[in-house]
Structure 1
Amino acid sequence: MEVSRDMSRIAKGKILRADDGGRCAMLQVELLDGEIVDNVEWFLSYGVTALPLAGAECVVAFIEDASDHAVAIAVEDRRYRIAAKAPGELAIYTQDGARIELLNGRLVSVECDTYQVRCATYDVQADNVAFDAEAIALTASAGVDVDAPVLATTGDVTDRGGQASLQDLRDYVSGHTHAETGTETRAPSQVMKGAGNE
């Protein structure tokens, strides 16, 4: 439906449909007066892409008052918008709660259900790294190298798919005996540290 030419060059409306299948995101917008405007171009900043949900609000400008050439100059969805916590802070967010927040104090906060990184090289340089997780799985087809003066754990260490552990080694070394000329020696008097009976 064509918009009448006597309308304002700037109008507010509600997005009915969004399509990002072409070289520019296109919107179908219902203006406040009920007019339906098709093929509204939405220009985003370079390096940023998005696809708004139906029901989001927008501000539309008509180039040189032409009813057949409209562009969306702002899109907002107050249903899902998260408020900035403090002046100077910003966030990227979705309707289902995923968010990346750039907060004051050089803090970047990420909240999501699944965090995926795909890259050729992943390089992290940090003074401290902390993981707090129920389980961590690491797969490395070529091996894992650890360059550290100490590798510490509060629990046991296993290898070969859990067939043996470091505690198994302690128990064996500290408790084994030798058959010697028909008699069997007593267990070693010096036991391996951490065996539990030293």
Structure 2
Amino acid sequence: MDRMTLMFNRLIRPLKRRVLLMVSRAVIKTVNDAEGIQKLQVIGYDGELMEGLENFQQYGFSSCPPSGSEAVVVALGGNRGHAIVIGTQNRKYRVIHKKLGETVVHDDLGQMVHLKRDGIYVETPLKLEAIIGTTARVVAPAGVRLETPTLEVTGDIKDRCDDDGRTMAEMRDVYNSHVHPENDEGGPTNAPNEAM
């Protein structure tokens, strides 16, 4: 190798190293999710411990990746002391066999919201809770089916709510106090002996 080539290689060696270290893979050790931007502690190349790495996530979506998840680390300007995380994943919990265009939000407990080609599926081995500020409306022209041993409602249930429907409480009041003429003497019957 001639002298010019050696000098050139020596000059660009620091730049080459920075370029090679700009994007790397790492394994997440711990997560600090208590601040405005999530910070990660990761293990990079050759056991390199990197702390306080900002985890940039898509707006409107936030996750707290479990320890052992993988991360893509970008060293801004090739400076490993100023690195950020631009993506995380965990092979152990990834939902597989999706069709093109499908999207899944999931966690490590088997809970998921799956936007499938034929509809939206929500799965959870735990409880499902929806907190709604004002009203909720479900439009299901073919019907709504609940498969549950008990349906509990803290307020009234009303049928034909857009017409002349009654609440179950109103139907109960009518039933409990109703009388009608008897067939034998024409007088009214007593109210039902058991209230509804």
Same fold flag (TM > 0.5): yes
Distance 1:116 1:74 in 2: 29
Contact 1:100 1:110 in 2 (8 A): yes
Q: Distance between the aligned counterparts of 1:71 and 1:126, measured in 2?
A: 45
Task: Report the alpha carbon displacement of residue 144 of structure 1 after superposing the two structures with TM.
Answer: 3.0
Correspondence for 1:85 among 89, 93, 98: 98
C-alpha distance in 2 between matches for 1:60 and 1:13: 7
2:152 is matched with 137
From 69, 78, 85, the counterpart of 2:82 = 69
Conserved? CA contact 1:84–1:90, under 8 Å? no
Say yes or no: does 1:111 pair with 2:123.
yes
Contact 1:58 1:73 in 2 (8 A): yes
1:159-195 CA-to-partner distances (Å, cap 9, x unmatched) read 69xxxxx8x99xx98x9987x9xxxxxxxxxxxxxxx
> TM-score, structure 1 length as denominator?
0.70
Shift >3 Å, 4+ stretches: 175-178
Identity of aligned residues (%): 23
Is the CA contact (8 Å cut-off) linking 2:21 and 2:80 kept in structure 1? Answer: no
Counterparts in 2 of 1:33 and 1:135: CA distance versus 1, 3 Å: same
Answering whether residue 35 of structure 2 is matched by residue 22 of structure 1, we say yes
Distance in structure 1 (CA, Å) of the matches to 2:55 and 2:73: 9
Gap change, CA 1:176 and 1:68, over 3 Å in 2: farther
- Is 1:42 matched with 2:55? yes
Alpha-carbon contact 2:53-2:83 (below 8 Å) kept: yes
**Would the aligned equivalents of 2:104 and 2:115 in 1 still touch at CA under 8 Å?**
yes
Give the 3-state SS of the residue equivalent to 1:17 in structure 2.
Answer: strand
- Whether 1:122 aligns to 2:130 is no
Instruction: Give the aligned residue type for 1:130.
Output: R
CA distance in 2, matches of 1:70, 1:84: 33
Conservation of the 8 A alpha-carbon contact between 1:58 and 1:72: yes
Q: Residue 19 of structure 1 contacts residue 26 of structure 1 at CA under 8 Å; is this kept in 2? A: yes
Q: Which residue of 1 aligns with 2:160?
A: 147
TM-score (norm 2): 0.70
Is the partner of 1:33 in helix, strand or coil?
helix
State the distance in 2 between where 1:131 and 1:176 align: 42
Partner Cα distance (2:24, 2:49) in 1: 12
- 1:57 deviation in Å? 0.6
Unaligned runs of 5+ in 1: 152-157, 161-165, 181-198
Greater helix percent: which structure?
A: 2
RMSD (Å) for aligned C-alpha atoms: 3.2
